Structure 1
Amino acid sequence: MTLYDWPRASAFGRVIPKNKIYEHVGATTALKDLFVREVDQIVWSHKLAPETINLPATKAVAEIQVFRIMQREKDLSFDALRAIDRAIPFPLLFELTHGGKVKLAAAYKRPSEADSTKWVLGDYFESEWLPDTTPRTALPVALNMGALYEQLLSPLVEGQTAQLAPGATTGFAEATQASFAAPPAVEPLSLEAKIAHLEAMKAKTREVERIIARLAREKQFNKRVTINAELRTAREELRRLSGGMDGEGE
């Protein structure tokens, strides 16, 4: 996973008091306790916008905000990120830090088609932890803010897809990565298509896990044969979703 060298012109560096987040989202006592327990500091670190990175805005993405979250604990609830996302009316990218390490996290965020003043927020994707001293790379080349947003989120989606249920089938991670390597004549998948692909794989993985659990509980031979057949079918469907790998049978 890449850490980005955010352009100097986009530096914002404003510490955001937690109570400002509480005010914007009408935080419950439970959410406040979560912030106190898990979040040390919230910094609005960079503002990627037409005036700071010289890219034109799009209807869906006028700006992208980068928030750096210093965590008190290694694990951070997505409820905390969701509260910050709800408080800020722009797409966000989070840099989460703890114990000298950093990782990226974000949810796909888009204006509601029914009400352009509201935002639709999807599930969160995150990278692996990296040393905070990891060399950073320049932002990907893009023609506008919308395209940049897709390029920033796509590696997170692809990374989670590649790591999804690694024990479900031999070679699964490699096959998943290959599923995004489209032939030259095929148009690359959009971010929304990649997310839909990941959601389908999540659902199929849950189905495989449920069948495996049923098989472990079942004692009757004839029923185990039937369940094994279901398992082979579900795993084959999972293989097809992962890119059409040639797998071995049971």
Structure 2
Amino acid sequence: MLYDWPRAAAFGRVIPKNKIYEHAGANSALKDLFVREVDQIVWSHKLAPETINLAATKSVAEIQVFRILQREPTLNQDVLRAIDRAIPFPLVFELEHGGRIKLAAAYKRPSRSDGSRWVLGDYFESDWLSEHAPRAAMPVALNMGALYERLLSPLVERQAARLVPGMAEAPHASFIAAAAMEPISLETRIAQAEAIKAKTREVERIKARIAREKQFNKRVAINAELRAAREELKRLSGGGNSEVE
């Protein structure tokens, strides 16, 4: 999903890469990534109390929208992380390449022990869409913090759906349905998504071990591990009837 950001929030400022280097403490390897993968960085929109008439919250005073014009089809997340480190506000990225756009964002919050520091989680991304795809209205929210959650939640849920076969075709799966049935914090949803991601990787590692193992008795033991891991992944993804192959 792409959003039709409010006109009053339009900023449209091109950000020189050296400004990101300066504020992110970029080393030569990171600079090489920017040169190789990033064509242009545009500070696209500034979602703030004065531009969208929503009250700031303690953790979300403003949300900045950055558009990244990519030179290559993929973008190393270290690039996004460097920009996030350089900008002291939560960010939502629009990544653009070859006539397509997708959203990306990591949950970003002030440190509970040091309010001057930011804690940055893993990145979540939408699917690629045509740059001409219709844009949806920005989510309705009562304040900036609630808006931030509503912008990130679909990205978090989509990642879980991509990782577990069947979830994308079964929006009633409890991971998604629970969000509609009862209030679940964004941090809880992210923890669920990250647990699914970690367990999915574990399943793949166990499957690789089975493929390499030649001894029958060891394969039997590893298969038992695989069954247990699949059951745990099924539980994390909300039960359902889909099999994790």
TM-score (norm 1): 0.92
The separation in 2 between residues aligned to 1:211 and 1:176, in whole angstroms, is 28
Summarize deviations over 1:96-138 as a string: whole Å, max 9, x none: 1111111101110000111111100111111111110011111
Per-residue deviation, 1:182? 2.1
CA contact (8 A) 1:42 1:69 kept: yes
Q: Gaps spanning 5+ residues in structure 2: where?
A: none
The equivalent residue for 1:89 is 88
Within the candidate set 174, 177, 180, 2:176 is matched to 180
User: 2:77 maps to what in 1?
Assistant: 78
Counterpart mapping for 1:21-170 below 5 A: 21-164=20-163, 166=165
CA separation in 2, counterparts of 1:198 and 1:58?
25
1:183 & 1:153 partners in 2: Cα distance?
A: 13
Rounded Cα–Cα distance in structure 2 between residues aligned with 1:222 and 1:132: 54
Question: Cα distance 1:249–1:44, how it changes in 2: closer, same or farther (>3 A)?
Answer: closer
Contact 1:24/1:87 (8 A) holds in 2: yes
**What is the CA-CA distance between 1:205 and the residue it aligns to?**
1.3
* 8 Å CA contact 1:176, 1:243 repeated in 2: no
Letter matched to residue 148 of structure 1: L
Q: Is the 8 A contact 1:66 1:94 kept in 2?
A: yes
Shift of 1:246: 3.3
The residue that corresponds to 2:12 in the other structure is 13
Amino acid at match of 1:228: N
Return the alpha-carbon distance in structure 2 between the equivalents of residues 249 and 159 of structure 1.
17
**3-state SS of the aligned residue for 1:180?**
helix
**AA matched with 1:181:** A
- Percent same amino acid at aligned positions? 77
Please list the CA deviations of residues 2-46 of structure 1 after superposition, one character each: whole Å capped at 9, or x if unmatched: 110000100011111111111112211111111111111111010
- Structure 2: distance between partners of 1:154 and 1:182: 12
Which deviates more, 204-213 or 4-13? Answer: 204-213
- For residue 228 of structure 1, the aligned residue among 207, 211, 223 is 223
TM superposition shift of 1:226: 2.1
Cα distance change of structure 1 residues 173 and 240 upon mapping to structure 2, 3 Å threshold:
farther
Q: Give 1:174 shift.
A: 4.1
Alpha-carbon distance in 2 for matches of 1:159, 1:30 = 31
Looking at structure 2, the residues matched to 102 and 139 of structure 1 have their Cα atoms a distance apart, in angstroms, of 17
Q: 1:249, CA displacement in angstroms?
A: 10
User: C-alpha separation between the residues in 2 aligned to 1:134 and 1:92?
Assistant: 22
CA distance in 1, matches of 2:10, 2:126: 22
TM-score by structure 2 length?
0.94
Give, in whole Å, the separation in 2 of the partners of 1:249 and 1:118: 39
State the alpha-carbon separation in 2 of the partners of residues 106 and 80 from structure 1: 12
Question: CA-to-partner distance for each residue in 1:209-230, whole Å, 9 max, x for gaps?
Answer: 1221221122222222222222
Q: How many Å apart are 1:47 and its aligned residue?
A: 0.3
SS in structure 2 of the partner of residue 45 of structure 1: strand
Moved more, 37-46 or 174-183: 174-183
Q: CA separation of 1:8/1:243 partners in 2, compared to 1, >3 Å: closer, same or farther? A: same
Residues 75-101 of structure 1: CA distance to partner in whole angstroms, max 9, x if unpaired?
111111111111100000000111111
> Could you list the runs of 5+ residues in structure 1 that have no partner in the other structure?
none
Contact 1:176–1:242 under 8 Å retained in 2: no
Q: Does the residue aligned with 1:156 lie in a helix, a strand or coil?
A: helix
